[in-house]
Amino acid sequence: MTSTERTDVLVVGSGFGGAIAAYHLAAGGARVVVLERGPWLTGNDFDHDFKLGSSYTRAFDFTVGDGMSVLGGNCVGGGSVVYFAAMPRAPRFVFERHGSIGRRMWPSAVSRDTLEPWYDRVEEAIPVTKQEWSDVSYAGGLWAAACDHAGRTANPLPSAIDNSKCANCNWMMAGCRFDAKRSLLFNYLPGALAHGAEVRPLHEVQHISRTDDGDYRVHYNVVDDEDYRIQAGSGTIDAKIIILAAGAGATPVILQRSEATLGTMPNAVGRYFSGNGERLNTAVLNEDKVREVLGLSRGDGLAYEANQIGKGPTVASWDRLDGSLPEYSRFSLEQLYFPPGLGTILAQVPGATGPSWFGVDKKELLKRWRSWLIIFQMTEDDNEGVFGPPPATGNADRISQQMLGVGRLRYNPTANTLRGWAEADAEVKDILERDGLAEVAAWTNDVVGAYTVHPLASCRVGDDPDTSALDDRNELRGHPGIFVTDGSAVPGALTVNPAMTIAALAERAIPGIVHAAQQRGVNVTYGAPSPDGATSGRQGAARLVPTLLHR
């Protein structure tokens, strides 16, 4: 149990927040160790298989809470391995949101304009590309056509997919077998490894303490490769700088558990959690109407019946991303694929008179699965999630060998959040039920609560110490040398897919982290190019770097 292992920088988690930090710190000359709770899977490890124990369950965590369940990555590369690679930038009004605190919740130093150079860096590194209509799946095309029919606009989503390799298999959530998804396994992580960073999978960090010489000590358990309920050892590593990027469902839990050894945590640790205002609707299409009303045909006799085909979301409607609308009335509506096993049970029977999510009518709904079109709403919620006291280990009491656990998040949606969902539901209905195109129903919140694949804000940046755990450089208030760079740092719902913003905010945090490391005697510099050597992103952000070095 006792260990004298030391490193300069210890990174907890290897998703966007962890991988980006690990790359820059390692490239700058620091000794970096990354502890990742999940397994290290690549290429052929990514199965097309729903069987428990396949990559589909190994790489994911589904944490059931009280009123909110969270789906998150659990593998080297984190969310980037299992996500759908939609990478839009957040609309300008998002940074001006007040949310539940009656004042701007983003730090004054962060706006769409000041984040733009950091978005550019991410776009260059991953890379993120604009999609053409020829890249859009049948489901995305159907959504676009329905939006157009209803007088709305619709956009192909910018994405981190190499379309030349994509087989449109829709197994993205199990990791990409064809190396088409440009996850962190292809850019920041190999960059970090090339510069000497060490990534240790199946290492679950439990808490942090102080060493006698003023550094930090990270305490971890080793998790069994197959049955995550089993612990296969434990250890500690000392470091001068800690970067927490375990995900918004886990980072605050580690800090809560560390309160006994590190002292009082900022009030906002484990509070203000946002589910990105997410909610799902299922439309069951009338295939004849798809042909007659929208004029769509696949050319093989079918109009649609293509729920299974594609690459996650490809088209979104952004008409309601209008900054002149009142807060909680702005949302995007995005076509999405959601595979069986992870949420089909939550789809409700449109117009149900009996049970809506199980039973005879639900079985009939399942039999029309090929004609499903799932619409993903990203609205403005009220940051109403709060984490209760942490469980014995990790962030959940694990039930199954992988994936399923019960966490401590409580989420009781406010009237604002409910209003946003109701408006988004009505909009989806208005678009898709026109002229008998489809029948629509929202997913139930009564089974596992609301459901998010984009947990945010549980340890957020801000200017106000009472409502933000981090200062505007992502450093944990009252605990210098601990930084948080994952989705928990994002102050609130973004109304679009958040990966691009999480990554940009992490890029923005790096100069300050490097500076803090230098102050602690670490021989490290800031200024690495993109992992592939490109430099235009670095150039673009250079003028902002000096502003991020002082407190």
Partner 1 sequence: MTPRIRDEDQVRTMTLEAFADTIVPGEKRSPDDRAVAGAAPGGGAVAAGALELLEWDATGLSSGLGEFARLLNGHAQVYAAEHELAPDESVPPFVALPFEHRTALVQRLTTPGHPEKEFWVSLALFSNMAFDSAAHLHTADALAAGHPGLIAMGIELPDPDGLWRFPAYSYGRQLARLHPDTTPSGSPA
Residues from 346 through 375 that contact partner 1 (CB under 8 A): 354-355, 358-360, 362-364, 366-367, 369-370
Q: Residue written as tokens 């996650």? A: 312
- Of 152 and 479, nearer to partner 1 (C-beta) is 152
User: In the set 53, 235, 527, 540, which binds partner 1 (CB under 8 A)?
Assistant: 53
User: In the set 29, 190, 235, 341, which binds partner 1 (CB under 8 A)?
Assistant: 341
Residues whose CB falls within 8 Å of the CB of residue 78, separated by 6 or more in sequence, listed in order: 13, 14, 15, 16, 18, 19, 36, 38, 72, 184, 245, 247
Classified as helix, coil or strand, 210 is strand
**What's the alpha-carbon Rg for the chain, to the nearest Å?**
22
The least distance separating partner 1 from the CB of residue 165, rounded to whole angstroms, comes to 11
Total binding residues for partner 1 by CB under 8 A? 87
Integer Cα distance of 424 and 441 in angstroms: 12
User: In the set 17, 99, 191, 310, which binds partner 1 (CB under 8 A)?
Assistant: 310
Burial of 214 (0-12, 13-18, 19+ CB in 10 A): exposed
> Which 92-121 residues touch partner 1, going by CB under 8 A?
92
CA dihedral 254, 260, 262, 267 (to 10 degrees): 70
> Which 383-412 residues touch partner 1, going by CB under 8 A?
398-402, 404, 406
The least distance separating partner 1 from the CB of residue 372, rounded to whole angstroms, comes to 9
Integer Cα distance of 163 and 144 in angstroms: 20
CA dihedral 10, 16, 20, 22 (to 10 degrees): 20
- Of 229 and 434, nearer to partner 1 (C-beta) is 229
- Of 227 and 430, nearer to partner 1 (C-beta) is 227
Task: Write the binding mask 235 to 274 for partner 1: x where contact by CB under 8 A, - elsewhere.
Answer: ----------------------------------------
Neighbours of 225 (CB within 10 A): 13
Q: Are 489 and 469 in contact (CB under 8 A)?
A: no
> Which 128-157 residues touch partner 1, going by CB under 8 A?
128, 130-131, 133-138, 141-142, 144-145, 147-148, 152-157
Q: At what angle do helices 112-125 and 499-519 cross, to 10 degrees?
A: 90
The least distance separating partner 1 from the CB of residue 145, rounded to whole angstroms, comes to 4
User: In the set 309, 352, 418, 549, which binds partner 1 (CB under 8 A)?
Assistant: 309
Does residue 48 belong to the site contacting partner 1 (CB under 8 A)? yes
- Of 179 and 463, nearer to partner 1 (C-beta) is 179
> Which 277-296 residues touch partner 1, going by CB under 8 A?
296
Classified as helix, coil or strand, 113 is helix
User: In the set 284, 448, 493, 517, which binds partner 1 (CB under 8 A)?
Assistant: 448
Q: Are 530 and 121 in contact (CB under 8 A)?
A: yes
Backbone angles phi, psi at 345, to 5 degrees: -65, -25
Task: Write the binding mask 184 to 223 for partner 1: x where contact by CB under 8 A, - elsewhere.
Answer: ----------------------------------------
User: In the set 36, 61, 123, 472, which binds partner 1 (CB under 8 A)?
Assistant: 123
Does residue 472 belong to the site contacting partner 1 (CB under 8 A)? no
The least distance separating partner 1 from the CB of residue 43, rounded to whole angstroms, comes to 12
User: In the set 37, 177, 219, 508, which binds partner 1 (CB under 8 A)?
Assistant: 177
Burial of 521 (0-12, 13-18, 19+ CB in 10 A): exposed
User: In the set 167, 230, 422, 426, which binds partner 1 (CB under 8 A)?
Assistant: 167
CA 122 to each of CA 14, 276, 490, 502, 526: distance values in angstroms, whole numbers, following the listed order: 16, 21, 16, 10, 16
The least distance separating partner 1 from the CB of residue 20, rounded to whole angstroms, comes to 19
- Give the per-residue SS3 of 435-447: HHCEEEEEECCCC
Integer Cα distance of 424 and 409 in angstroms: 24
Does residue 175 belong to the site contacting partner 1 (CB under 8 A)? no
